């Protein structure tokens, strides 16, 4: 099923003379959500500290 979907995107892109990434919204997103496992050691800490723990 995935191969059929990719083929459809390819056909549409060629028909419109556009790359597929542009049809899907562009090269990048302004926001990217990232999820991580919060270890026990920082579970009670404020969110500002969580960033440094996952970096």
Q: How far apart are CA 19 and CA 13, in angstroms?
A: 6
pLDDT reported for residue 41: 58
Question: Helix or strand or coil: residue 52?
Answer: helix
Tokens of 21: 């990434």
34 Cβ neighbours under 8 A, 6+ residues apart:
54
Q: How confident is the model at residue 29 (pLDDT cuts 50, 70, 90)?
A: low
pLDDT the model gives residue 11: 93
Phi, psi of 44, rounded to the nearest 5 degrees: -95, -5
The per-residue pLDDT for 17 is 94
pLDDT at 4: 92
């Amino acid at each position: 099923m995935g191969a059929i979907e990719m083929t459809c995107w390819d056909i549409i892109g060629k028909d419109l003379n556009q790359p597929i990434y542009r049809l899907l919204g562009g090269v990048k997103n302004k926001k990217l959500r990232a999820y991580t496992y919060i270890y026990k050691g920082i579970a009670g800490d404020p969110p500002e500290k969580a960033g440094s723990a996952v970096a």
